[in-house]
Amino acid sequence: MKSFSLPLLLSAAGLLAACGGSDSEEKEKIDYAAFDDADVKKLVDGGDYEKALEIIKAQDEMEISDKADFMTATEIYLSLMDGVAAEVAIEKARDAGASEADVSISLGRALMLQGKFDEAENILKNTEFEGEDKFQAFLLRGDISEQKGKSEEAVEFYEAAAKERPEDFRGHLGLALLYLNNGQLDIAKGYADTAASLIEADPIVSYVEGAIARYQGRTEEAKAHLLKATELHKRNMLAYFELIGLYIEGGEMDAAQKQLDAVYAIAPNSPMAQYYSALMLAIEGKPKEAEYLLLRTGDFTRTFPPAARTYGHVAFELGKYSTAQPYLERSLQRAPADRPTRLMLVECLTRRGQPARALLYLEPLIGEDSTDVEAMLQAAAAYGAQGKLEQTRAFIERANRVARADANTDPQVIQQLGQRLALSHFISGEEDKAISELQALYSEGGGDIESLALLANMQMENGDLDGAVVTAERVVAIDSNNPVAHNLLGAIEYRKRNLDGAIEHYNKAIEANGDYQSALKNRGLAFLTSGKFEQARDDFNAVLSKGAEDAQVHAMLGRAYLELGNGNDAATHLKQAEAIIPESAIIATDLAEAMALSGFKSSAITQAKKARKLGERDRNLVLYLDDLIAKWEKEEALAKIEAEAEREKRRAEAAKKREAEEKARQAIIDDGSLKDEEEKPEDKPKR
């Protein structure tokens, strides 16, 4: 449903146009004085606002403009939705002799465009209008009321306009727009039909008819009306945007792009156009490119709800969960039935350590009659994050039953559920049961690489490294270049402390898939452990360049920078890691060391004390931190003594310098006195 309000007068006059530049040499050749009002009107009617404004400005500089010229400029600026420029033009019209009656309606519109609703309302209240102006005033007051969120008041003014001039389509159109914006489509359609019967062809009427048809599901009819709206006015941005949305919903991306191209030709920097381009990129699976476009729209992602939703989804796909969360929350408030947004928000909360809140958001999807397998798995993850293994397994078993009961369920989904159920048994300490379940899944699935990979992971975690190697090699036998298998073999070699062997397998995994973040992360850890800090730094940076928010990677990269003696960069990444995992004593300790390395000993001591409290159960860590704190406090004390000694030295030097200067000054004074005494009385001037 539409989520922006469109004032009637602005929609009728404000079919957005874009002004470009013009060549200054060409201007010098034009005889601007030769243009009369009819010439300027012809330009305006043809949509060449830039040329019309150029002529009016030139004639103003030549002091041959009159009030009609400035009122024309006012209408152009109002059409361009530039309230400030319109207000300036109105002031010039006044200076040229325009009366308050001449400018009141236009000034009201200009003020409304600037959000000065009360000022605009006061002008309209305190002015007596007749004829067309009275009709226009009713419409404008309806627009203002709608912008202020006073729908009932807006209805009264639009109805008054329709009563004042029942034969004029604009009063009925105002009501149609109002009800369209409020989602009351049937009522909106009645008024739109009336408006259409009163005028043969109007771009805004066609737009409204098209928008209503779109949201009522009459797709082909909507297209016909909206295309007509763009034909009637080539700069009808409203109709273009409805068409673009309609085509995207129908998967007609080429048709949507064609309309977007038309918009960009008119307004190259249109935030709405950029939003739709970003939406198309997101649908095409290009979240990074979509994010770039959405960021270019500035505040638009916060003020336009569909853009906020898209940005939340894009940030989620990029793994930027803290960025995505507020956008998803805002979108869900406006559209509680938006299941994909709800599930993304739940996963963000779980990943960011807020599983209890995640479960609250899940409640509408996991009731007793629910068949939502994905929601059940999200619930299992949230309970798992809280360490509630019984509830975790219960939801996985429930999801498994629902999936198996549905004949249309993809066999791969059932297989994945079996894997998760096995994993839940493994986490609960039922390792043998979990492993046998996975072995059974593999037998059922033939070449099921995922089950084998999970089985190898479980064997590795269970300490059966030789069994894990055998299982991982079975994956290699199925697919010799499988990056998952080589990543697993690398992890097994790392567990065996064979770092060179681990790195060799990680290299193979990355050669097979250069974007395989798990292998990059694991290889970085192997480099870090083996003292190859520069290589570790490069791998961790490569992982973060993909846009993921991974606290472990930030922490390990911080450690790599520490080992390389770069305290500032170490602190930057460790602070990001601490923000995501604030309860980690190790991260807090490394951050303390980074602060000390950067020369901030006082802050380092405070941070180390925080780390000590977090790790108070780890005796070795506490002893290590106590040594660091004692060392840094001693260094701080010595630094203070040295600083005080340096200050005292400078004070002594300054005092000595002042004493020398005073002696020199006194010597000059004394020398002058001696000369006075040596003068003879007769040499002194007589008074």
3-state secondary structure labels for all residues of 279-312? HHHHHCCCHHHHHHHHHHCCCHHHHCHHHHHHHH
Percent of the chain predicted with pLDDT > 90: 35
pLDDT at 71 over 50: yes
Spatial distance between the Cα atoms of 522 and 501, rounded to a whole number of angstroms: 13
Helix (H, G, I), strand (E, B) or coil at 599: coil
What pLDDT does residue 681 have? 52
Question: What letter represents residue 611's amino acid?
Answer: A
What DSSP character marks residue 665?
H
Dump pLDDT digits (tens) for 396-420.
Answer: 788 888 888 887 777 666 666 666 6
Q: Tell me the average pLDDT across 121-126.
A: 87
pLDDT at 81 over 90: no
What pLDDT does residue 441 have? 57
What pLDDT does residue 418 have? 63
Q: 354, 329 in Cβ contact below 8 A?
A: no
What pLDDT does residue 342 have? 94
What pLDDT does residue 493 have? 92
What are the start-end ranges of the E strands in 17-119?
A: none
Which residues neighbour 246 within 8 Å (Cβ) at sequence distance 6 or greater?
Answer: 214, 219, 222, 223, 226
In 3D space, the residue among 674, 651, 652, 655 whose CA is nearest the CA of residue 663 turns out to be 655
Spatial distance between the Cα atoms of 448 and 482, rounded to a whole number of angstroms: 13
pLDDT at 430 over 80: no
Q: Tell me the average pLDDT across 376-390.
A: 80
Domains and CATH numbers, the chain: 8-199 (1.25.40.10), 410-480 (1.25.40.10)
What pLDDT does residue 471 have? 78
Q: For residue 279, give both structure tokens.
A: 């939406």
Which residues neighbour 512 within 8 Å (Cβ) at sequence distance 6 or greater?
Answer: 481, 482, 483, 486
Q: For residue 89, give both structure tokens.
A: 């033009």
Q: Tell me the average pLDDT across 656-664.
A: 85
Phi, psi of 233 (to 5 degrees): -145, 110
In 3D space, the residue among 183, 184, 186, 161 whose CA is nearest the CA of residue 172 turns out to be 161
Q: 279, 245 in Cβ contact below 8 A?
A: no
In 3D space, the residue among 49, 47, 96 whose CA is nearest the CA of residue 71 turns out to be 96
Q: For residue 15, give both structure tokens.
A: 């079919």
What pLDDT does residue 417 have? 67
Q: For residue 221, give both structure tokens.
A: 């009819």
What pLDDT does residue 12 have? 46
Spatial distance between the Cα atoms of 26 and 86, rounded to a whole number of angstroms: 26
How many C-beta neighbours within 10 Å does residue 20 have?
Answer: 6
What pLDDT does residue 435 have? 64
What pLDDT does residue 553 have? 92
**Residue 448: which pLDDT band, with cuts at 50, 70 and 90?**
low
Q: Tell me the average pLDDT across 119-125.
A: 88
What pLDDT does residue 189 have? 94
Spatial distance between the Cα atoms of 175 and 195, rounded to a whole number of angstroms: 10
Spatial distance between the Cα atoms of 14 and 287, rounded to a whole number of angstroms: 33
pTM for this model (two decimals)? 0.52
> Token pair 């906020």 is at which residue?
308
> Token pair 């989520």 is at which residue?
3
Which residues neighbour 77 within 8 Å (Cβ) at sequence distance 6 or greater?
Answer: 83, 85, 86, 89, 110
Q: Tell me the average pLDDT across 522-535.
A: 95
CA trace torsion 172, 176, 257, 326 (10° rounding): 140
**Residue 35: which pLDDT band, with cuts at 50, 70 and 90?**
confident
Phi, psi of 36 (to 5 degrees): -105, 180
Please give the mean pLDDT across all residues of the chain. 83
Spatial distance between the Cα atoms of 326 and 656, rounded to a whole number of angstroms: 64
Q: Tell me the average pLDDT across 79-90.
A: 84
In 3D space, the residue among 465, 550, 472 whose CA is nearest the CA of residue 505 turns out to be 472
**For the residues of 550-596, what is the DSSP string, one character each?**
-HHHHHHHHHHHHHTT-HHHHHHHHHHHHHH-TT-HHHHHHHHHHHH
pLDDT at 569 over 80: yes
Q: For residue 251, give both structure tokens.
A: 């998967």
What pLDDT does residue 404 have? 80
> Token pair 């790195």 is at which residue?
503
* DSSP H or E segment with residue 618: none
Query: Of the spans 136-140, 254-258, 384-388, which averages the highest pLDDT?
Result: 254-258
CA 202 to mean position of chain CA atoms: 37
What pLDDT does residue 416 have? 64
Spatial distance between the Cα atoms of 116 and 84, rounded to a whole number of angstroms: 11
Burial of 374 by CB count in 10 Å (0-12 exposed, 13-18 middle, 19+ buried)? middle
Q: 232, 201 in Cβ contact below 8 A?
A: yes
Dump pLDDT digits (tens) for 577-597.
Answer: 998 888 899 999 999 999 999
What pLDDT does residue 5 have? 43
What pLDDT does residue 413 have? 67
Dump pLDDT digits (tens) for 163-210.
Answer: 999 999 999 999 998 888 888 889 999 999 999 999 988 999 999 999
pLDDT at 443 over 60: no
pLDDT at 461 over 80: no
pLDDT at 97 over 50: yes
76-85, 245-254, 335-344: segment of lowest average pLDDT: 76-85
Q: Tell me the average pLDDT across 278-286.
A: 90
What pLDDT does residue 270 have? 84
Which residues neighbour 577 within 8 Å (Cβ) at sequence distance 6 or greater?
Answer: 551, 552, 554, 555, 558, 584, 587
What pLDDT does residue 530 have? 94
Spatial distance between the Cα atoms of 640 and 597, rounded to a whole number of angstroms: 18
Dump pLDDT digits (tens) for 223-279.
Answer: 999 999 999 888 788 889 889 988 998 899 999 999 999 989 888 888 888 989 998
Burial of 148 by CB count in 10 Å (0-12 exposed, 13-18 middle, 19+ buried)? middle
What pLDDT does residue 508 have? 93
